[in-house]
Amino acid sequence: MIDSLLIKMEQELQLRNYSPRTIRTYIGAVRAYLLHKGDEVQIPDIDHIKEYLLQKLRSHSSSRTVNVSLHAIQYFYADVLHVECKVGLKYAKTAQALPVVLSRAEIGALVCGVENVKHRTMISLAYGSGLRIGEVTSLRVRDIDIDQLVIHLRHAKGDKDRITIIPESLCDVLRAFCIGKTPDEFVFVSERGGGLCERSLQNVFARALLHAKILKHATFHSLRHSFATHLLENGTDIRYVQELLGHSNIRTTQRYTQVTNPALKHIKSPL
């Protein structure tokens, strides 16, 4: 019963051109709720939904996770089953944490500590071009124009195309990875063929952090944060940084100014 409903939801999401990541997230959130509800899953129970979300908050789920669950549940009932489901809850406030940024020295130590050439290149490219982890693993030969030093990212987050830069220092190694491949082939291929999975690359990054003795709570996405921050520190206009990152709203890019403000960094403590 639940599986057939989730298949119907997945098809609806695909028809609406949601990204594979969003589809997985929504399906997972709704599956968890339906299993928790147990019976009469096709009939929305507003009080039960509120209690379920409250339980998630009490179990220390993040406000972002709770918001995703609320949105997914409402989507399931309203857009898949076409049943009215007005929960009457405002979305929880999400924490406005500053992005975790690695210094140039930390980036250097991180990259140097990765012996595998493919993994080292993927990490370097994520930092040097401001790529998300999925953009690195799904990069194809046709997306790279080494002579023009640009990458054409197709159907990136939000189903938007964008252009970003290639570091000159990576040109030779990228050429080597592209030699002998057709335009549609992945630049970085796993040992089994096909693209490298994101989880594997996350594990590589985590090991590199340990090897470099970096104690910050950094993730692979911190490479993209560092790309943006270092460009702003170099004096790159924020509008160009916005375009390279593919942000629709300049306010998303402006958060990096909070960690790059040179005036703040030069203030000396009175102690």
Active site residue 240: no
The closest of 170, 186, 167, 190 to 178, measured between CA atoms, is 186
Q: Is 224 a catalytic residue?
A: yes
Of 48, 142, 181, 221, the active-site residue reads: 221
Find all residues with CB under 8 Å of 111, minimum gap 6, and list them. 120, 123, 124, 127, 208
26, 33, 75, 256: the active-site residue: 256
Task: Please indicate whether residue 256 is annotated as part of the active site.
Answer: yes
Catalytic residue among 31, 36, 157, 211: 157
142 included as an active-site residue: no
Write out the two tokens for 13: 């999401």
Judged by phi (left if over 0) then psi (alpha if -120 to 50, else beta), residue 214 lies in: beta
The active-site residue, picked from 140, 224, 225, 230, is 224
Q: Is 132 a catalytic residue?
A: yes
Catalytic-labelled residue, pool 247, 251, 266, 268: 247
Rounded to 5°, angle at Cα 40 from 25 and 86: 60
b/e burial code for range 196-206 (CB count within 10 A of at least 16 → b)? bebeebeebbe
Q: Is 221 a catalytic residue?
A: yes
* Residue among 56, 118, 132, 230 flagged as catalytic: 132
Q: What is the DSSP letter of 62?
A: -
Decide the pairing of beta strands 160-165 and 144-145: unpaired
Any idea which residues carry the catalytic annotation? 132, 157, 221, 224, 247, 256
